[in-house]
Amino acid sequence: MNLIQCIGSSHSKRLAFHLERSKNSCHRLQCLSSFSFSGAKISDIKVRFKKTKHGLVASVPIVVFIGGNDLLAKKEVSQVIQQYLSMVRLFRRALPGVKLILVALPIFPCCYESHELKVSISEFNQFLYTLCNPNTVVIDLGPHVRTPEYFHRYYPRSRKPDGLHLNHKGYDILVGLLVEALKSEVVCT
């Protein structure tokens, strides 16, 4: 069984939930802990990480899926990049030697009509690749979820348009990519 920890926004929170619901499936991946909450921006994660006992351990890889809420709020890409870099450094200081698996953001269906958001997401993802090293891997989810069929069309409770959150099929793809990354790039303990 491969263990991971999740950090980020609702995407990370839902990944942990997806793994919990499907723990008897063949992917053999389990979330040890989740430091995630809906609507989180990078600065929110940093503040909570500094203020709380996060319960994360350096011996288990951390999946980081965050940045979308910052970009959707129309923050400057350079600001988002600086916040993300600061967050990664914070994790490295608190958890020396931890393996990080960074999830590059897909182009969300709610962004299809916005050239500006697509460019911002692309620039952000390019930055993520500059962080690669023996302890940091980037998973590019985008090429695998290029159509709306991998995303919720509506929020389940309110029935308002969504187009941001992965659905079951989308999370199955993300889990498959994580399993591959754990096999090839990250030494699991």
pLDDT, tens digit, 9 for 90 and up, residues 44-82: 999 988 887 678 889 999 999 999 999 999 999 999 999
Task: Say if residues 47 and 29 touch (Cβ distance below 8 Å).
Answer: no
- Predicted confidence at residue 111, as pLDDT, reads 85
pTM of the model: 0.89
Report which of residues 178 and 157 the model is more confident about: 178
- Read off the pLDDT of each residue in 156-180 and give the average, rounded to a whole number: 80
Q: Which CATH number describes the domain made up of 2-184?
A: 3.40.50.1110
Domain boundaries in the chain?
Answer: 2-184
- Predicted confidence at residue 38, as pLDDT, reads 86
pLDDT confidence band for 187 (50 / 70 / 90):
very low
One-letter identity of residue 168: H
Task: Say if residues 44 and 52 touch (Cβ distance below 8 Å).
Answer: no
- Predicted confidence at residue 109, as pLDDT, reads 83
Q: What is the pLDDT of residues 3-24, one digit of tens each?
A: 899 999 988 888 888 887 766 5
pLDDT confidence band for 87 (50 / 70 / 90):
very high
- Read off the pLDDT of each residue in 150-171 and give the average, rounded to a whole number: 75
φ/ψ of 37, rounded to 5, equals: -155, 150
Q: Give CA–CA dist 49/64, Å, rounded.
A: 13
Q: Give CA–CA dist 30/16, Å, rounded.
A: 8
